Structure 1
Amino acid sequence: MYRQGYGYLIIMFVMILALTACSSSSIHDFNSGETATTKVKQEDTVYYPDKKADKAKNVVSADPKPLQDEDFEVFYQSHKIDKNTDIKELIRKWGYGEGYDNFNRGYVSGNGTYRRWSLSYPKYEDPEIDFVVLSKIELDGEELVDGESYLVAVSLENPKYKTKRGLKIGDTLGKVLQLYGQPTTVTNKSLVYSKNGLHLDVYWDTKTEKVDHIFIEYNMEKSVEQQRSGDYVEEDAQPDPDLEPYTIQKEQSFTTTLNGWGKVRFVSTLKDEETNNLIQGKFFLEVNSDKYVEKKILYEFPEFYGNNGRMIDKIKAVGFKDLNQDGRTDIVIIADYITGVNAHGIETLPVAGIYFQKKDNTYTTLPKLDKNINQTGHNQTLQNVIQYVSKQRINVQ
């Protein structure tokens, strides 16, 4: 009896230990689940790079380390890539990459002086990494060859290669904000982090809300200036919205009839200003006639009020109406501008501006009126703007 009771006690003791272990394991699992949930919530936290500081404090790593030059370095096959990377050394080490000749020797653009091209590894068809290079064209006997060359930018094309802080393709926007904090610039498809002429451009897929492209610029400004200096440009050439740096907004471009101009094409465009990286709205009147094979710019409108220090996401609405009852056609523009970014993409607000037609048929703006329209919130729709302006006394000469 004694032995049987002793054995029973041992069994009971073992069962208590097992239950204790299970309980401990359950607690550990619960805490892990809570931590994971917290991380998800933190990644979804809204991040505002402008004035909404209260919510910005909730972002994971709300105070990431300031950017350093080394944050723009990457490593490919244990080789450090930075703004001083020797292109010829890369070629000596890895060659030109499979498919170099089939892809027109990596050609991107050029003129008689410079050639912009890509050096892709391990192959051009499906690269892991892509180096953008600018080379001065030199003559070797009767053959044109790449002379002095330098690294313009590098593009990470495969998730196994990360930035210095660990960002890779496939990461969420929340992860970007977690690692880098407030971006220097926000566009409708990318976050840009800049320091000392170096730029880390993080592009995302608007459907998956994940990083799909990482582009690091080392000597972009220098390359643009050098390549442009080798281009031949006619002094009297008119800007053409069909060419860079203008991108036509087709849904907000219309054929219309305006006083003094007749039947014309009103063209809405977005222009990427190289000087400050802000996407700006720009508007033109264009010839509307089948007899012109090439479009001709008749008139370039004054600066759009909505450009005032803002990054334009899109041109939202355009309206043609005589707003001040002077018999001339005025033009109302509403655009969306970017106010911030969160884990799901960009956030926008509307901004309106008006072009009033003068007696000589050109157009002008009234910045004070534009400011009042936007400060009072009468900028949501064309009807909002028209109703507000109809109550004002406006005299344009």
Structure 2
Amino acid sequence: MMLVMILALTACSSSSIHDYNSAETATAKVKQEDGYYPDKKADKAKNVVSADPKLLQDDDFEVSYRSHKIDKNTDIKELIHKWGYSEGFEANNRGYNSGNGTYRRWSLSYPNYEEPEIRFVVLSKIELEGEELVDGESYLVAVSLENPKFKTKRGLKIGDTLGKVLQLYGKPSIVTNGSLLYSKNGLHLRIQWDTETEKVNNIFIEYNMEKSIEQQRSADYVEEDAQPDPDLEPYTIQREQSFTTILNGWGEVKFISTLKDEDTNDLIQAKFFLEVNSDKNVENKILYEFPEFYGNNGKMIDRIKAVSFKDLNQDGRTDIVIIADYITGVNAHGIETLPVAGVYFQKKDNTYTTLPELDKSINQTGHNRTLQNVIQYVSKQRINVQ
């Protein structure tokens, strides 16, 4: 059913709604994000019909877990002191998502990492304690509700319908074919829904996302005035998605995301490398060149969108998830894009390989929009890489 028709069917009795004004129907034109339509059911949600609840307040972005209020000022170290790191923290590379020599972005999942009820996204400054790198100053970036027994302030939970979302929150700031976004004062409530079941499958609240992106970006090892690496001369380094990281068997290295205009077919292609993590001149900076990225398959890449380092198949090795945007066309507003994801699995010899059929499945099923989409989907598969 077309998305507009789905969203139009939202009339509910006022007795099922708490703390909001009378539900007068209103039609709102909403801003759209390019690149988030996994198929061609493209009415693109130009109009959304919804109820008219009260305006968002800052406390609408608060949640409660274990009788503890979670908001933008939550002290993450206080939570760790109370609840510990939970089962699976070490096995999941200490929750590592991404990082560089100054900051690391990581996740803290409760009650465990296998079946989380809630997930905290944290940014920590890396400090040296003796000879060990530890998390220094840390703050909460975002929280993800992943179990239906936990609700938002207005009573929304995993498994609720799109109708209930609109009834409780009204007109979203941004609509895509798999997500509704509500924003106020730098706080963001992103409600993701399954396009087949038409029910909410994730509630993601961002508290300090912009701050964390800016801090992590400013500390990336590639400076604006840095000279290009002669070993990577044919490529354009994508600074925002190039990081200093620690990988099994490699130690601390630089993960380099690049784009190259291939002479043979005039398609802009993505290419990834590992480099020596040293400012000293060495004969060969490039340690490793990754296999062909799945997204290069006949597509012109617009940008590398996201990178995550995580053990996806629980074999103790660090796998890498890549999401890029590829160009599908041009309209009056500029280029049109769609996401494409690919996964590199680390083998026993510490090199990397791809599983093309898995990559194909990730993208055909629409589990390619965010790192969380890819990680959750792949983690449910039985993958054995030698």
TM-score by length of 1: 0.51
Per the TM alignment, residue 202 of structure 1 is displaced from its structure 2 partner at its CA by: 0.5
Find the aligned partners of 2:207 and 2:137 in 1 and give their Cα distance.
Answer: 16
- 2:120–2:140 contact (8 Å) kept in structure 1: yes
Matches within 5 A, 1:119-268: 119-233=108-222, 234=226, 236=228, 239=236, 263-265=265-267, 267-268=299-300
Deviation at 1:103, TM superposition (A): 1.1
Equivalent residue of 2:12, what SS?
helix
Partner of 2:296: none
1:283–1:230 Cα change, 3 Å:
same
Whether 1:49 aligns to 2:24 is: no
Q: Which residue is 1:392 aligned to? A: none
Q: Which has the higher contact order (CA 8 A, sep 6+)?
A: 2
Which secondary structure state, in structure 1, belongs to the residue aligned with residue 79 of structure 2?
helix
Contact kept, 8 Å, 2:28 with 2:47, in 1: the verdict is: yes
> 1:49 deviation in Å?
3.1
Q: Secondary structure at the match of 2:211?
A: helix
Matched, 1:70 2:43: no
Offset from partner CA, 1:97-135 (integer Å, 9 cap, x none): 111111111111111111111111110111100000000
After superposition, the C-alpha distances for 1:233-284 in whole angstroms (9 at most, x for unaligned) are 255585579x969xxxxxxxxx99xxxx77433644466999xxxxx98759
Change beyond 3 A, Cα 1:200–1:142 = same
1:114 touches 1:230 (CA, 8 Å); kept in 2? yes
Distance 1:160 1:211 in 2: 13
- Give the Cα–Cα distance (whole angstroms) in 2 for the partners of residues 108 and 228 of structure 1: 14
User: Structure 1: which 5+ runs fail to align?
Assistant: 1-36, 246-254, 275-279, 285-302, 316-397
Whether contact under 8 Å (1:268, 1:282) holds in the other structure is yes
The 3-state SS of whatever aligns with 1:264 is: coil
Q: Secondary structure at the match of 1:99?
A: coil
Paired residues of 1:132 and 1:152 also in contact (CA < 8 A): yes
Q: Does 1:39 align with 2:65?
A: no
User: Which amino acid letter does the alignment assign opposite residue 72 of structure 2?
Assistant: K
2: distance between equivalents of 1:227 and 1:314?
25
1:307 aligns to 2:305 (yes or no): no
Q: How big is the shift at 1:78?
A: 1.0
- Kindly provide the CA deviation profile for residues 185-221 of structure 1, in whole angstroms up to 9, marking residues without a partner as x: 1123211101111100100111111100110000011
Q: Is contact 1:282–1:304 with CA below 8 Å preserved after alignment?
A: no
In terms of Rg, which structure is larger? Answer: 1
**Residue number in structure 2 paired with 1:337:** none
- The answer to whether the 8 Å contact 1:137/1:146 transfers is yes
Contact 1:187 1:313 in 2 (8 A): no
Distance 2:161 2:302 in 1: 28
The two structures, once aligned, show a CA RMSD in angstroms of 3.9
Letter of the 2:29 counterpart: P
The answer on whether the counterparts of 1:119 and 1:133 sit within 8 Å (CA) in structure 2 is yes
The aligned length equals 233
- For 2:267, the aligned partner's letter is R
Structure 1 Cα separation of the partners of residues 227 and 175 of structure 2: 34
8 Å CA contact 1:188–1:313 kept in 2: the answer is: no
Using structure 2 for the length normalisation, give the TM-score. Answer: 0.52
SS at match of 2:204: strand
Cα distance in 1, alignment partners of residues 174 and 48 from structure 2? 19
Runs of 4+ more than 6 Å apart: 55-58
> Any conservation in 2 of the 1:46–1:56 contact (CA below 8 Å)?
no
Q: Does 1:118 align with 2:107?
A: yes
